[in-house]
Amino acid sequence: AAFFGFEITGLIGGTVFIETIYSYPGMGLLFMEAITGRDSSVVISVVLLFGIASILGALLSDIILSLVDPRIRIK
């Protein structure tokens, strides 16, 4: 549970490669097409969305870890 936030980041990075290789429509393919098409507003939006997902994953990981381990307290 401690590395859940990092797993989210890895999964998001993996979707970019998998969707690009297999031409599967999704956020990863949209991101790559926006980069190659120089669509900066879409690139910024997707990076922001991926960043928020990573931060929320880390926050969720910390909350779960504090519930499981009684030595960790959220102040």
* Interval 21-69: pLDDT, tens: 898 899 889 999 999 999 999 999 999 998 898 888 888 888 888 888 8
Indicate whether 28 belongs to any domain. yes
d(CA 21, CA 24): 8
pLDDT of residue 75: 64
| Alpha-carbon dihedral 64, 28, 14, 62, rounded to 10 degrees | -10
* Cα distance between the two ends of the chain: 20
Residue 55 lies in a domain: yes
Residue with the two structure tokens 């030595």: 71
pLDDT the model gives residue 37: 96
**What was the pLDDT predicted at 55?**
87
What is the value of pTM for the model shown?
0.76
Domain membership of residue 74 (yes or no) is no
pLDDT range class, residue 11, cuts 50, 70, 90? confident
Residue 36's domain comprises 4-68
The yes-or-no verdict on residue 74 having pLDDT over 70 is no
The tally of domains found in the chain comes to 1
Give a yes or no: residue 23 inside a domain. yes
Amino acid, single-letter form, for residue 37: G
